């Protein structure tokens, strides 16, 4: 059963192997190929709030709060040894659809794993869904005469919101629909999306004529635990939501045509958590924003990365990352790594004489097991930053000290 209104774009299928990439898509694009940073609209300080309640909640929000409280308080969701239950609900349904039900799941709490007993979170979580849902908006995108619908999350009262970049790309018209049904024209401030390279998968939009946009309570700390409660809010005002969990620690992963940095893997089906959905934790804070999928399950960009990306897009119009200057593939060896296939001239890699056939196995002491992971580590680094790169060369370990240059996305 669909968990959201018709009209959302499907996630793109995983891309097959492709021929060598053009300059704009390469991991080793040279700084001379970069465009200049543009100016953009100023961003109000991103408000981080734990939770809030509207003085006159909408009928949908009140219904949502009551239903979630009833469901969780009565123990219909088992959040225990394996958090794989996903409950989807919306107004007008005669009941609740259990998308998946794990065998042998229990409600035994475990502080170490980040699990929460159902009875302890029912009422509070219901309130959080209704409140945070006020910062979820429909975004209608028109491209080449065809209209599609995605979601956006409010992050600045002056009209700033974040939306999935893949669904915004190529837009000729953007209309943002607020929970009360009012529609406003939206403009793209900047995007952080790079085909076949690492990115947050997010676009920053400005809603014209709005000065009191509801703001989501974004978490500002990286999440390290796994198997934690995650509620995907995919309808304005919390009118549609799904309960599941984050099932692995964040790690950079391919999603469609990009690599999502420190992506949060969930057990929520993409139908229950479409692009742009807000991913709430048990404390009512936004853990992430759904920006991709893998194996039919939703992937989310962490909120702390979204916060940083929004600030950079607002102030500079682009996001600039550390640039090493190589092409590479995941190594077919025990423990993985990245086999260097090509080194760009006048790059950080060429300066330290990194060469074809070298296998990169670590960056600043962190093991590198795949090309996606290396791309994610470089994304999170800064131009000018010095890194220790561990390499296996002709079977022997080598450590290189590299000073990164810059690469621009957006």
DSSP per position, 245-303: EE-S--EEEEETTEEEEEEEEEEEETTTS-TT-EEE-TTS-EEEEEEEEETTEEEEEEH
Per-residue pLDDT tens digits for 56-76: 344 434 444 444 444 444 333
Same domain? 224 vs 339: no
Last residue of a domain, one of 317, 352, 387: 317
Same domain flag for 383 and 287: no
pLDDT at position 338 over 60: yes
pLDDT in tens, 199-213: 999 999 999 999 999
Same domain, 131 and 191: yes
Query: Which DSSP category does 28 fall into?
Result: T
Q: What is the pTM (predicted TM-score) of this model? A: 0.70
**CATH number of the domain encompassing residue 378:** 2.30.42.10
The answer to whether 12 touches 256, Cβ cutoff 8 Å, is yes
Q: Which domain holds residue 373?
A: 320-409
Same domain, 262 and 368: no
Same-domain check for residues 193 and 263: yes
Q: In whole angstroms, what is the distance from residue 162 CA to residue 94 CA?
A: 33
Do 343 and 218 share a structural domain? no
Q: Same domain, yes or no, for 34 and 131?
A: yes
Give the distance from CA 157 to its chain's centroid: 21
pLDDT reported for residue 226: 66
Q: At a CB cut-off of 8 Å and minimum separation 6, what does 16 contact?
A: none
Give residue 216's pLDDT.
93
Average pLDDT over residues 108-132: 54
DSSP assignment of 393-407, as one string?
ETTEEEEEEEE-EEE
The domain boundary, picked from 290, 317, 344, lies at 317
Last residue of a domain, one of 258, 282, 317: 317
Examine the domain organization and report whether 19 and 42 are in the same domain. Answer: yes
- The DSSP code sequence of 299-348 is EEEEHHHHHHHHHHHHHHSSEEEEE--EEEEE--STT--EEEEEE-TTSH
Rg (CA), the chain: 22
Specify burial of residue 4 (Cβ count, 10 A radius: 0-12, 13-18, 19+). buried
Question: Is the pLDDT reported for residue 389 higher than 90?
Answer: yes
CATH of the domain at 34: 2.40.10.120
The three-state secondary structure class of 328 is: strand
From residue 154, alpha-carbon distances to 174, 207, 263, 286, 319 in Å are 15, 10, 20, 11, 20
Q: How many domains does the chain have?
A: 2
Confidence of residue 388 (pLDDT cuts 50, 70, 90): very high
Q: Is residue 26 located within the same domain as residue 115?
A: yes
Do 104 and 152 lie in one domain? The reply is: yes
Residues 309 and 338 in one domain: no
Q: Report the distance separating Cα 51 and Cα 240, nearest Å.
A: 18
Q: What is the pLDDT of residues 319-337, one digit of tens each?
A: 888 889 999 999 988 889 9
Question: What is the pLDDT, as a whole number, of residue 65?
Answer: 43
Domain check: are 293 and 338 in the same one? no
């Amino acid at each position: 059963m669909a968990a959201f209104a018709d009209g959302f774009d499907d996630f793109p299928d995983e891309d097959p192997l492709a021929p060598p990439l053009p300059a704009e898509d390469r991991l080793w694009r040279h700084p001379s190929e970069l465009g200049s940073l543009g100016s953009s609209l100023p961003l109000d300080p991103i408000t981080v709030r734990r939770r809030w309640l509207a003085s006159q909640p909408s009928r949908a929000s009140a219904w949502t709060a009551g239903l979630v409280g009833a469901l969780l308080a009565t123990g219909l969701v088992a959040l225990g040894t394996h958090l794989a239950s996903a409950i989807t609900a919306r107004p007008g349904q005669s009941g609740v659809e259990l998308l998946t039900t794990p065998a042998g799941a229990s409600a035994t709490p475990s502080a170490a794993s980040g699990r929460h007993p159902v009875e302890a979170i029912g009422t509070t979580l219901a309130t959080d869904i209704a409140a945070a849902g006020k910062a979820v908006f429909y975004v209608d995108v028109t491209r080449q005469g065809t209209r599609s619908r995605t979601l956006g999350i409010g992050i600045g009262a002056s009209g700033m919101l974040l939306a999935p970049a893949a669904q915004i790309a190529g837009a000729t018209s953007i209309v943002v629909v607020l929970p009360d049904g009012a529609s406003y024209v939206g403009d793209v401030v900047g995007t952080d999306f790079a085909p076949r390279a690492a990115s947050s998968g997010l676009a920053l939009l400005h809603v014209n004529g709005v000065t009191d946009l509801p703001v989501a309570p974004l978490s500002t700390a990286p999440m390290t635990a796994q198997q934690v409660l995650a509620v995907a809010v995919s309808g304005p005002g919390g009118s549609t939501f799904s309960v599941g969990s984050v099932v692995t620690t964040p790690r950079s992963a391919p999603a469609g045509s990009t690599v999502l940095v420190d992506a949060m893997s969930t057990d929520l089906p993409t139908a229950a958590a479409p692009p742009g959905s807000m991913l709430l934790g048990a404390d009512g804070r936004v853990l992430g924003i759904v920006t991709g999928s893998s194996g039919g399950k939703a992937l989310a960009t962490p909120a702390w990365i979204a916060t940083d990306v929004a600030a950079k897009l607002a102030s500079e119009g682009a996001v600039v990352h550390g640039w090493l200057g190589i092409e590479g593939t995941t190594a077919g060896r025990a423990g993985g790594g990245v086999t260097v296939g090509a080194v760009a001239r006048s790059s950080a890699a060429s300066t330290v004489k990194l060469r074809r056939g070298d296998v990169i196995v670590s960056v600043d002491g962190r093991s590198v097991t795949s090309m996606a992971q290396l791309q994610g580590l470089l994304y999170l680094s800064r131009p000018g930053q010095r890194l220790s790169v561990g390499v296996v060369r002709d079977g022997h370990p080598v450590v290189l000290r590299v000073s990164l240059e810059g690469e621009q996305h957006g």
